[in-house]
Amino acid sequence: LSSVHRITSGQVVIDLPTAVKELVENSLDAHATSIEIRFKQYGLESIEVSDNGDGIPEEDMEGIALKHYTSKLQTFSDLETIESYGFRGEALSSLCAVCSSVRITTCTEASKPRATRLEYDAIGKITSKARIAGTKGTTVTLTKIFEGRLPVRRLDLVKNCKREFAKCVSLLQAYGIIKLGVKIIVSNTLTSGKRNKLFSTNGNSSVDRNIINIFGAKQISNLQPLSLEFEISRKSLYSRSKASNSSSIQVKGFISNPTPGNGRSSPDRQLVYVNNRPCLSPAVSKCFNECYRQFNPTQYPFFVADICVDRASVDINVTPDKRTVLLHDEVLLIESLRDELLACLSESIS
Ligand code: ADP
Ligand code: MG
């Protein structure tokens, strides 16, 4: 394994949550309606993601873990319309480079009930291939992430494994809430053999059902549905014409009701999405907190906010983890969001 490949792979799979995210997104891309994520010892021993998706056809097995192999982009112009999470073909190859072992068991509709169990080496070549019985779907097992390959990062992970594990769980909750019709089950088994179930959703058809599955019914009783719609007019710096065009923004989700001094919300239960993708947007979170705290200064809100903008207005690929989203005209957007949110909250309190 060349050290360059190892280092660049370490930049794609930067930490435990990124590894988990890539595997879950692959399952979603494969149209899974049930995804089970099993951690062993907080992910230090292994992470296993099982889905009931399309499976991997025989002809793709050789290639999938090689660098830049993707089955999701056929032409360059697909890049503009891509609906799938993955398209760079870097996740599996990077995982092979940074994990002690990567094992994939997969079965398609056509090969059912015969599955194939594959093992890949550090450069993504198949080292073993066996036929076994199976059902449609794919299971990817990663063992001992970073061990031997990126020793400093491994030490870091061992030291902070509970914190990193908690980040994984939050991320999985974010998918669990927004993905309708997909059942997500998360568990952790300790070296003692004790298995803890973290949460599971039911393939519900609504976000509030998912919130109940994940956070409990108490949480939802204080929630108010959120549905905001506004226009922002953009004056593009790059546009040659003087004309400014406007784009319409929708914000859908839930926010806790501002019950002065009596809320029970914690600042970590705040989920931001852009066009259905979990993401990090400090500006949006700050806006929600500031608005809510005008009515309830002692608490932070629980909220789920999916910001729907037209595809041309977002750039989701600014960081390798694809979580940080760049929004065009973010300042304008936040300004309008603040007005709408304040109006909505003051209405609900009066
Ligand atoms: P990308 O998602 O960008 O295409 P990845 O490295 O994540 O790249 O995956 C490589 C390929 O492996 C995918 O394009 C897909 O064909 C296949 N693949 C990976 N995981 C799964 C899965 N859970 N189910 C079906 N196919 C999968
Ligand atoms: Mg992928």
pLDDT per position as a tens digit, 168-196: 999 999 999 999 999 999 999 999 999 99
pLDDT of 87 strictly over 70: no
Determine how many CB atoms are found less than 10 A away from the CB of residue 260.
11
pTM here is: 0.90
Average pLDDT, the chain: 88
* Closest listed residue to residue 252, CA positions, set 281, 233, 274: 274
pLDDT of 241 strictly over 70: no
CATH of region 3-214, choose from 2.60.120.260, 3.40.50.720, 3.30.70.980, 3.30.565.10: 3.30.565.10
Neighbours of ion ligand 2 (CB under 5 A): 26, 86, 91
ipTM exceeding the 0.95 mark: yes
Cβ neighbors of 242 (< 8 A, separation 6 or more) are: none
Q: Which of 203-207, 277-281, 300-304 has the lowest mean pLDDT?
A: 277-281
Residue 219, pLDDT score: 76
Q: Rounded to an integer, what distance in angstroms lies between the CA atom of residue 27 and that of residue 33?
A: 9
Pocket of ligand 1 contains residue 124 by CB under 6 Å: no
Q: Rounded to an integer, what distance in angstroms lies between the CA atom of residue 235 and that of residue 1?
A: 49
182 CA distance to ligand 2 middle (Å): 18
At the topology level, CATH places domain 222-349 in Ribosomal Protein S5; domain 2 (3.30.230)
Instruction: Give the CB-side neighbour count of residue 325, counting CA atoms within 13 A.
Output: 26
Q: Report which protein residue has its CA nearest ligand 1's atom 21.
A: 26
pLDDT of 75 strictly over 70: no
Q: Report which protein residue has its CA nearest ligand 1's atom 2.
A: 86
Containing H/E element for 221? Answer: helix 217-221
**Domain residues of the chain, as ranges?**
3-214, 222-349
Residue 330, Cβ density class (10 Å: 0-12 exposed, 13-18 middle, ≥19 buried): middle
Q: Is 348 helix (H, G, I), strand (E, B) or coil?
A: helix
Residue 257, pLDDT score: 86
pLDDT of 73 strictly over 80: no
| Closest listed ligand to the CA of 73 | 1
